[in-house]
Amino acid sequence: MSMQVLYDQATIAARIATLSREIRAVYPDGASVHLVAVLKGAFVFLADLMRAIEGPVTCDFIAVSSYGAGKTSSGEVRLNKDLDRSLQGRHVIIVEDIVDTGLTLSYLQEILRARDPLSLRTACLLSKPSRRKVDVAVEFIGFTIEDRFVVGYGLDFDERHRNLPYIGVLEGEA
């Protein structure tokens, strides 16, 4: 197994600084934004993104699973942990680590839209558009990447590598 660095710490930090300003610019002055992070992969991205967004910001967590121990989606999404608070009247942003087939995100958008938020948008750190199976709207994208399996900065392969401070491509593992 070998690891190739795709985006180093400085590159990620710079992109998040810009992304946070892009996000803030979309909302009315002084509006509070409510970040809904998708566990577990998005927790590192959330921590950096949340601190970069100026003004009032709150957060909540939801956990879903769509992948087994391997690299391919089962196509089935399961809700493992629901939100603590209502979304009613809030400007909600779903915070995802990566949008691959789009199945997880389309499921989340559907169940969260039904909860009557003031607005619902999505921010993902990474997007693999060539892998889409469903057409989902993603308003804020950190990096658009090729069809490669990436780890680090919260992303895992079989629960490993989430602690890497960079985003890397794992090669030579099943």
The angle at the Cα of 51, spanning 50 to 55, to the nearest 5 degrees, equals 80
| Residues in contact with ligand IMP, shown as a per-residue x/- string from 22 to 51 under the rule CB under 6 A | -------------------x----------
**Smallest distance, Å, CB 63 to Mg ion?**
11
Q: Which two tokens stand for residue 125?
A: 């750190």
Q: Residue for token digits 């996000």?
A: 23
Name every residue whose Cβ is closer than 8 Å to that of residue 136 and which is 6 or more positions away in sequence. 99, 102, 105, 106, 109, 122
For the chain, the C-alpha Rg in angstroms (whole number) is 16
3-state secondary structure at position 111: helix
For the beta carbon of residue 148, count every other beta carbon within 10 angstroms: 11
120 alpha-carbon distance from chain centroid = 14
| Residues in contact with ligand IMP, shown as a per-residue x/- string from 49 to 88 under the rule CB under 6 A | -----------------xx-----x---------------
Q: For residues 96 and 123, is the Cβ–Cβ distance under 8 A?
A: yes
CA dihedral 14, 16, 18, 23 (to 10 degrees): 180
The entry of ligand IMP, Mg ion, none near residue 99 (CB within 5 to 8 angstroms by kind) is ligand IMP
The entry of Mg ion, ligand IMP, none near residue 61 (CB within 5 to 8 angstroms by kind) is none
State yes or no: is 100 an active-site residue.
Answer: yes
Interaction of residue 154 with Mg ion, rule CB under 5 A? no
**Smallest distance, Å, CB 44 to Mg ion?**
12
| Residues in contact with ligand IMP, shown as a per-residue x/- string from 103 to 142 under the rule CB under 6 A | xxx-------------------------------------
List contacts with ligand IMP (CB under 6 A): 41, 66-67, 73, 96-105, 149-151, 155
Residues marked as catalytic: 100
List contacts with Mg ion (CB under 5 A): 41
